[in-house]
């Protein structure tokens, strides 16, 4: 269901609401966290009470974003409206969806604010969708929406939008950044946002300890190259995801390296769990098919960065990999 609606309806909901819940998916990233905090900053300036929820703990590598510690995995007993930020897929909302405490929340206005290539929502209790394709981050989208509502964004709010943009564009290095994005970044810098300071804070938290560094070498060693080197594939075990993953996300740890290998067009990080398999997809410039591959398996994302999850308990890693490679072969033709 798309739940497309007018922004006027959403503005009316936010104007009348006293308490707003902001939800991130079960896979929080720099964009979702910064965007959630941006909503909090703007709406609290307007006298609203804002609560921040995520079904999983905010990872260590995102804790350079000031305010992360206000995000909780406990749901409130009473709210007037909810905003789901940077996600429109039910599969990434499992923790919230299965919580008994979510029943009341599902009866209230539920707004989707996403910016991915496919902005249709399959969340059955979503009532409104202000998603728009073509934005570098959910934060950039929300900034435009709130500006249209005549909601003021102070310096702190603009800083959070910049952090959301830098996160999803990998520091303005991928195709998600548009001319509009660069103009917005320039406006924020002129307003006083410390672009260099934000980057230094991110880099400080991005540094890896020796154990992560040596683990990265193991991932490089086990990487497979397919289709004459056009595809790089690395498998990450459940134990590794829960062990090293608390220090540094294994997916981005290896994916950034794989994209630096000559001739590689598509990089896959496959995480295996006892009851599911998750796949992160990254593509090099000129191969905008990540979201197309993800869509074939019920996922979504951007043209150059996407992902999906397979929940079949009886699906082996070898069968899953074969299915993924087969689908990728067709897309690469």
Average pLDDT of the segment spanning 214-231 = 97
265 located within any domain? yes
Measuring CA to CA, which residue among 12, 300, 282, 255 is closest to residue 174? 282
- List the single range of 106-115, 156-165, 167-176, 232-241 with lowest mean pLDDT: 167-176
Residue 125 carries which DSSP code?
T
CATH of the domain at 185: 3.90.1640.10
CATH number, domain at 289?
A: 3.10.310.30
pLDDT cut 70: percent of the chain above it: 97
Dihedral of CA 91/93/99/102: which sign? negative
Q: Of 153, 171, 202, at which residue does a domain stop? A: 202
Q: How many domains does the chain have?
A: 2
**In this structure, are 120 and 163 located in the same domain?**
yes
Q: Are residues 139 and 281 in the same domain?
A: no
Is residue 222 in a domain? yes
CA-angle at 89, arms to 15 and 298, nearest 5°: 160
On average, the pLDDT of the chain sits at: 92
- SS3 label, residue 87: coil
Does residue 217 share a domain with residue 196?
no
pLDDT tens for 146-178 read 999 999 999 999 999 999 999 988 888 888 899
- Specify whether 29 is located in the same domain as 149: yes
Looking at the domain assignment, is residue 249 inside a domain? Answer: yes
Examine the fold and report which residue of 170, 202, 234 is the final residue of a domain before the chain moves on. 202
Task: Assess if residue 1 is contained within a domain.
Answer: no
Q: What is the arithmetic mean of pLDDT over 246-273?
A: 92
Q: Are residues 18 and 152 in the same domain?
A: yes
Angle at 13 between CA 137 and CA 139, to 5 degrees: 10
Note whether 231 and 316 are same-domain residues.
Answer: yes
**Alpha-carbon separation of residue 8 from 64, 102, 146, 236 (angstroms):** 35, 26, 11, 45
3-state SS, residue 52: strand
- Residue 272 and residue 185 share a domain: no
In this predicted structure, what is the pLDDT of residue 116? 78
Domain that includes residue 214, residue range: 210-331
The per-residue DSSP string of 262-313 comes to TT--EEEEEEE-SS-EEEEEEE-TT---HHHHHHHTT-EE-SSEEEEEE--T
Which of 202, 218, 238 is where one domain is finished? Answer: 202
Q: Are residues 69 and 104 in the same domain?
A: yes
Mark whether 311 and 170 lie in a shared domain.
no
Same domain, 29 and 62: yes
Percentage with pLDDT > 90 across the chain: 74
**30 plus 174 within the same structural domain:** yes
Distance of CA 239 to the CA centre of its chain: 23
Both 139 and 235 in one domain: the answer is: no
Could you tell me if residue 2 is inside a domain?
no
């Amino acid at each position: 269901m798309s739940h497309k609606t007018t922004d006027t309806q959403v503005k009316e909901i936010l104007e009348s609401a006293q308490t707003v819940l902001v939800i991130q998916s079960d896979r929080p990233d720099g964009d979702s966290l910064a965007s959630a905090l941006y909503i909090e900053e703007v709406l609290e300036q307007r006298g609203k009470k804002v609560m921040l929820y995520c079904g999983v703990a905010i990872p260590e590598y995102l804790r350079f974003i000031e305010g992360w510690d206000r995000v909780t995995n406990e749901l409130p007993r009473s709210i007037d409206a909810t905003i789901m930020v940077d996600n429109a897929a039910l599969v990434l909302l499992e923790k919230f969806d299965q919580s008994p405490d979510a029943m009341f929340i599902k009866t209230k206005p539920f707004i989707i604010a996403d910016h991915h290539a496919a902005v249709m929502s399959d969340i059955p209790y979503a009532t409104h969708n202000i998603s728009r394709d073509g934005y570098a981050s959910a934060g950039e989208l929300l900034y435009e929406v709130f500006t249209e509502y005549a909601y003021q964004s102070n310096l702190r709010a603009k800083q959070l939008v910049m952090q959301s943009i830098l996160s999803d564009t990998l520091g303005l290095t991928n195709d998600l950044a548009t001319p509009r994005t660069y103009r917005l970044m320039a406006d924020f810098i002129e307003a006083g946002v410390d672009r260099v300071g934000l980057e230094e804070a991110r880099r400080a938290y991005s540094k890896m300890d020796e154990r992560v560094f040596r683990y990265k070498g193991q991932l490089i060693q086990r990487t497979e190259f397919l289709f004459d080197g056009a595809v790089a594939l690395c498998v990450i075990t459940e134990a590794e995801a829960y062990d090293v993953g608390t220090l540094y996300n294994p997916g981005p740890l290896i994916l950034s390296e794989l994209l630096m290998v000559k001739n590689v067009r598509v990089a896959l990080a496959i995480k295996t769990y006892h009851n599911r398999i998750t796949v992160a997809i990254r593509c090099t410039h000129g191969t905008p098919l990540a979201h197309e591959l993800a869509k074939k398996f019920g996922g979504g994302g951007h043209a150059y960065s996407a992902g999906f999850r397979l929940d079949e308990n009886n699906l082996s890693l070898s069968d899953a990999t074969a299915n993924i490679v087969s689908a990728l072969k067709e897309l690469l033709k």
